[in-house]
Amino acid sequence: MSGPKTCTSWSFESNTLEGWSVDTADSNATGVVSNLGVSAAPAGLSAGSRALSFNLRPGPNGGDVVLTVPICDAQGVQFNTTVNTYAFSLFFMDAAGTVPLEQGGGIQAFQHFNAPTFGPNNITANTASTIKSGAWINYTSQLFSGGQSDLETSAGIVIHFLQNWQGTIFVDNVHF
């Protein structure tokens, strides 16, 4: 992995992907992602000056985008799932001519996963009725648990789309 090795937090200040990628093996990942990289973070988040970013153009029937990262070079971390949380921030920027998210622009939900306990295909989405364009959304949730203590080797974020929304998505301040 290029950039600093990290096990439980990612800020992208290294100006690298820090191990993050788009999971193209996921059969639900029908969105068209381009320009995955690190760019200047939109204002309003105190986590630094850079963020993971990508452009999205999903198909007319929607789909999922799955971002994933190995934890500790895939060696994993033993989490106490009764106390550990997973947090991240998202920023959605509408492309010109796209219906804004707050006007029904098409993002149904976003969620996290920690694997192998709960991978991207077997978790329930958090309803995203408060998703708006042009502002950081901070998300924190309890880890999904298969027991009180789980060895997790990867983590990620899933974004569900209902229709053909286009724009840029920024991810920052990801941590356990």
In this prediction, residue 148 carries a pLDDT of: 54
167 Cβ contact partners less than 8 Å away, ≥ 6 residues apart: 55, 56, 92, 93, 94, 95, 98, 133
Say what the pLDDT of residue 27 is. 63
DSSP string, 126-138: EE-TT--BTSEEE
**Tell me, what's the pLDDT at 50?**
95
Question: pTM of the predicted model, to two decimals?
Answer: 0.83
The pLDDT of residue 1 is: 30
Q: What is the pLDDT of residue 5?
A: 47
Q: Which residues contact 110 (CB under 8 A, 6 or more apart)?
A: 90, 125, 126, 128, 131, 139, 157, 158, 159, 160
Which H or E run contains 43?
none
pLDDT, tens digit, 9 for 90 and up, residues 137-146? 888 877 665 5
Domains and CATH numbers, the chain: 9-175 (2.60.120.260)
CA atoms within 13 A on the CB side of 173: 18
What type of residue sits at position 100?
Answer: P
Residues in the chain with pLDDT < 70? 1-6, 26-31, 46, 59-62, 74, 80-83, 102-130, 143-150, 162-164
Instruction: Read off the tokens for 130.
Output: 């408060």
Question: Among 16, 5, 141, which Cα is nearest to 73's?
Answer: 5
